[in-house]
Structure 1
């Protein structure tokens, strides 16, 4: 639209341009008022669609409901199943049964949460070379077999799965989509003006630089906040399921160490959608005392006397390398 306005303007004579400029000048207050009204409408829409998350008590902007989440989840699930058609692991596979067993343990322990009961959870295991797990809207969990090479035990597996389930319970996918749509409306007018007022190459450069700035200054930090939130809530879900939650720290310490050994891609936290492995390790360590109390209050048996964190930190760099070789990670 901006380019269309620019082309339309170049076809006008100097006399017509002066007439239009005068027309705009005479109605400048009305035009500014329209921009102000547009901003006010967006602000009112934003305020009226804020709600408090029951788990974190954080205020969030949501424009979608649970039914729309289910529809979106089903649509995205079909796309991902089609994309991974050749990589799907059968339900008879031992890894699938192991994952399902851990998920059910977390679900049973947290059935007091309405959001847990109301979600139709699904599990899809894929055989890809990426050490990854993720969740789609509506509680559709995807896990790569490759990540099981890094995960040392079922406690660490429960931490990873609880993190993904926390994303779903906190409606992070809907929140991110709502936030992105709001940004689209906020920047629509500035983008139109840039493409209308500047030559195409200049407009393209300004547009791209603007998008990168917004991404680095807002979108990525916002995504990292959601990841930390899922870590925190996931830790609580695992604690109620009587998991040895100290393994959460060991898992992220392992990821940090593998990165330092250049066995995982290097981290650039300020341009990443996820916090660094070391930051997650440190934050989970800080939350551990509270989480252990929650585990105790949930009627869980006493944790083993040997703290897995101490076992990990007591190993030297050389011993870590030998240990990772023994486990088949290296």
Structure 2
């Protein structure tokens, strides 16, 4: 009975036959052209791609701004509040890592750093209120020379960089450069660029299927050049900041010469080609600074620095540090 029923011809069902033909036509069309029979898949996908691209372009254009000091156009989507929050997190992490090496504020070298920071801040209104700044000197001879300023205006200086600075003018070169990074909000700019780098990586990966290749391409073509551009911008901004504070801008040239000598002696980055580095070569920095010196010297002359220098001893005495 079961065999007899199974072998009986099936009744004709127009709707089922039409669906079978439709599925067959859809399969054939998709296999030949990549689209469905009625074209709905292609149109919807095109709408989505077009909409996302348009929205992304509008978002990018509406978040373009000019960097302070240089006026460079750049993409910025990180708010100052988020930037300061990240600065606070970095500050706590840095204290946790190097807190045991921080010297007291009354230490002579710590007072020197505090004095230079105070003079830079007082002479440059764009740097905000002096009360918002805090300085830490990290003393550990085994650590490499370094200094940085966090977005929340917390300054860290490693004592190993002081022999390279030699004096207040050299130290002002370093601190003005690091302060220039924060004045230009380079930390926020870097965070704003990260989603763009991720999109570029995904796009290259879809074309090549090689993960290491897309990372290398994005790093060499986008990340490293952007980092070097921000370093040059901080060099220029720092030169103007220290000149406005009546430090000698010519000292910046000597500082980077000493830094170049240190790099050669220590082998720290001396053999890395510039296109593979996050920072410009010290020799190239010197060339650019020499080009900027006339503007920096003019700015220093406008500040009546000769008269100001007569009151420096009294200035040091009334320093809040």
Separation of aligned partners in 1, 2:53 and 2:157: 42
Residues 124 and 141, structure 1, Cα contact 8 Å, conserved in 2: yes
Counterpart of 2:221? 217
Give the CA deviation at 1:116: 2.9
State the partner residue of 2:277. 272
Specify the SS of the correspondent of 1:150: helix
- The TM-score, its normalising length taken from structure 1, stands at 0.76
Residue of structure 2 aligned with 1:136, choices 150, 157, 167 = 150
Q: Please list the CA deviations of residues 103-122 of structure 1 after superposition, one character each: whole Å capped at 9, or x if unmatched.
A: 001111112x2x43499322
Superposition deviation, residue 189 in structure 1: 5.6
- Aligned mate of 1:244, from 244, 248, 268: 248
- Give unpaired runs (5+ residues) of structure 2: 1-23, 310-321
SS at match of 1:86: helix
Shift of 1:169: 0.6
Q: TM-score, normalised by structure 2?
A: 0.78
CA separation of 1:210/1:137 partners in 2, compared to 1, >3 Å: closer, same or farther? same
The CA distance in 1 between the partners of 2:130 and 2:86, in whole Å, is: 16
Aligned pair in 2 of structure 1 residues 212, 189: CA closer, same or farther (>3 Å)? closer
SS of corresponding position for 1:244: coil
Query: C-alpha separation between the residues in 2 aligned to 1:264 and 1:218?
Result: 24
Aligned counterpart, 1:292: 297
Q: 1:243: how far off?
A: 0.4
Q: 2: distance between equivalents of 1:137 and 1:173?
A: 7
Using the alignment, how far apart are the partners of 1:259 and 1:79 within structure 2?
28
- Cα separation, partners in 2 of 1:141 and 1:181, compared to 1, 3 Å: farther
**CA–CA distance in 1 between the matches of 2:34 and 2:90?**
46
Q: Distance in 1 between matches of 2:29 and 2:95?
A: 55
**Alpha-carbon distance in structure 2 between the residues aligned to 1:21 and 1:211:** 34
User: Alpha carbons of 1:20 and 1:116: their partners in 2 closer, same or farther (altered >3 Å)?
Assistant: farther
Distance 1:20 1:208, change over 3 A: farther
Q: Deviations over 1:173-230 (max 9, x none)?
A: 0011101123324544654x46xxxxxxx94xx1111111110111101100000000
Contact 1:119 1:138 in 2 (8 A): no
Specify which of 32, 54, 58 is matched with residue 40 of structure 1: 54
Shift of residue 19 of structure 1? Answer: 8.4
Shift in CA distance, 38/99, structure 1 to aligned 2, threshold 3 Å: same
Larger-gyration structure (1/2): 2
Matched residue count: 277
The reply on whether 1:259 has 2:269 as its aligned counterpart is no
Over the aligned positions, Cα root-mean-square deviation in angstroms equals: 2.7
**Residues in 2 aligned to 1:243 and 1:252: alpha-carbon distance in whole angstroms:** 16
Instruction: State the match for 1:127 in structure 2.
Output: 139
C-alpha distance in structure 2 between counterparts of 1:277 and 1:138, whole Å: 28
Q: Does 1:164 align with 2:174?
A: no
Please give the secondary structure, in 2, of the residue aligned with 1:25.
coil
Q: Tell me the CA shift for residue 302 of structure 1.
A: 8.6
- The answer on whether the counterparts of 2:147 and 2:178 sit within 8 Å (CA) in structure 1 is yes
Residues 1:93 and 2:98 aligned together:
no
Determine which of 224, 236, 239 is the counterpart of 1:235.
Answer: 239
Do the aligned partners of residues 244 and 20 (structure 1) sit closer, same or farther apart at CA in structure 2, a change above 3 Å counting? farther
State the distance in 2 between where 1:138 and 1:35 align.
Answer: 40
Give the deviation of 1:293 after TM superposition: 0.7
Question: Mind listing any 5+ residue stretches in structure 1 that lack a counterpart?
Answer: 1-14, 195-201, 305-330
